[in-house]
Chains A and B, each alone.
Chain A
């Protein structure tokens, strides 16, 4: 296996992102006990983060237990899981927060008890934690917008409907905001509507079908991975091969669709890498070693031209891998 590091990232510890390379410690000094909290494990994105976490925990020989809250509607459950983690006496906690703001009290409590907490993948309020690694969702939305514009011939009109994801989730709103910001740079691009909705394929399919009717002029669909997945079929059925589909994040389906040419592009933030970095950050915090306090993986738009160069093992877990919820140190 080729190692995932050194990984190209931005070091945003000081506030302004600076390009850097991330290299983990070879081993933990002791088999520490780490607690990992995820919003859910219901798509290949979070499975990819989990893969990074599990592999790195095994590599560094630490104990790891992963809890998933079952979805973004379960903030109270994540709060309870945080408490349960604290009660089990961990050396550090890694959190993929359902709501960074919503967990801020927990972070304070952990700090007061001296348990280091690392944020992974989902954005947090500035300086909420001693260490974190995530892409700013607004920035990631911007990247996808920029990617779309880059593939557009000058003078082409873009009539876009966005399908950011569930209203009230926070991340959907942020992605959307970033995307709109980027697209606003092109006077020929117009946002016709924003259609929030649960990020399941069935719900998104219905939204897209309706949007195809409500906005006959629509020629770009931008949205979540399930949106893109649903859109492929709906667009084919409606005979609108001129429609461009862009996904705001990655999963296995997006990769396949891109390879088939069904979608124009998707964005990635290298979730496997994020998981691995989080473990290393946690160990560094425990061992009081120097740590990059805010790591930002370099979000990228993947399209037909860039896909061959993509470092796949940082984007998705191997298809054969089934998630493990705990790792025991040897």
Chain B
């Protein structure tokens, strides 16, 4: 008897709109790009190239996942690039120090290095979270500040000089290792994406992150503790950035304050936004963000394989980025009016 009252509203319209709104056409665009590249250049689907793409996409995806989480909660994390660098040098320095203190004890050396790297990320995340949640300064400004400060600390530690002295096993057995035919970074990224997707869909934390980003006031009156979860998003974001820093360190074999930087920060936000995360908060899904990271990586790879002049590459990148999002936006608009 209730259903008889359902209105003139065409349910179909909502269905289509939700699909357009929730998946976007990024996956389609990705398929198109992959198909096009495979047709044009057989190098593209060479196994080594694919592994390169996957590894680089993984590194970006890990940072972008954390970034996405912060943006979904209504924030912004500009400090991720700097954290990548800080974690790299802290990890390398710690391992070098541990290696001289406990020579040969590789497990201890590696564990202490990774703990220090992740710890440095956690500290930056906590500072960000504290300033945003407790002092109520906007996330953009806080992370703009910590970006500068973190980069400064990273450089203070190293003076910009690469840090060596990590155990070989860390580089060969972790950074450059492959398992099941895939580089370590890919495995790590897959685990993180799965965990994050699960967290987003099935845990209180994920639910509250959506709620806070969707409407803070409503979340407050519904009894959601805002501060804890906001701090949580920044800590997760920073720790994922730190993890990326560690993976890069392991891969390259040295701790570098030049890792990350503005570029990584901009790319991670771009990946999140192109992956359908709304800068207004409350909307976005990790798996699409991961796809978007893959899309951006392949795009860069494609421009290189197609021998596009490296000075002109940014122009193509910019145009394609804008076009992709504009098309997505337009398709969503027209579908909403079926």
Contact = CB atoms under 8 A, between A and B. Distances in A.
A189 interface: no
Given A203-B263, A207-B304, A213-B48, A252 B311 contact: no
Interface stretch (B97-105, B123-131, B153-161, B234-242): B153-161
Interface in A77-99: none
A42 B304 contact: no
Interface stretch (A137-145, A230-238, A287-295): A230-238
Given A42-B258, A200-B261, A205 B310 contact: no
B304 A47 contact: no
B337 interface: no
A167 B48 contact: no
Contact of A253 (B49, B162, B260, B311): B162
Contact of B52 (A200, A209, A252): A209
Band of interface residues on B: 20 to 34
A241 to B, nearest CB: 15
Interface in A178-219: 193-203, 205-207, 209-214, 216
A167 B311 contact: yes
Contacts of B49: 210, 213
Contacts, number: 101
Contact of B259 (A196, A202, A211, A238): A202
A253 B164 CA distance: 9
Given A42-B160, A197-B310, A213-B49, A202 B252 contact: yes
A166 to B, nearest CB: 10
B26 interface: no
A44 B161 contact: yes
Nearest to B261: A200
B246 to A, nearest CB: 13
Given A214-B305, A229-B254, A238-B48, A41 B248 contact: no
Contacts of B167: none
Nearest to A194: B310
A44 B304 contact: no
A226 interface: yes
Interface string B237-268: 00000000000100111101111110100000
B46 interface: yes
A226 B161 CA distance: 11
Contact of B162 (A195, A212, A252): A252
A109 interface: no
B261 A213 contact: no
A214 B254 contact: no
Contacts of B202: none
A187 B303 CA distance: 29
A235 to B, nearest CB: 12
A47 B159 contact: yes
Nearest to B176: A237
Contacts of A237: 176
A42 B56 contact: no
A44 B248 CA distance: 20
The 7 A-B pairs at the shortest CB distance, nearest first, are namely A42-B160, A200-B258, A210-B304, A209-B52, A213-B49, A196-B310, A44-B161
Interface of A: 40-44, 46-47, 167, 193-203, 205-207, 209-214, 216, 226, 229-230, 233, 237-238, 251-253, 256, 322-323
Interface of B: 43-44, 46, 48-49, 52, 56, 155, 159-162, 164, 176, 248, 251-254, 256-261, 263, 300-301, 304-305, 307, 310-311
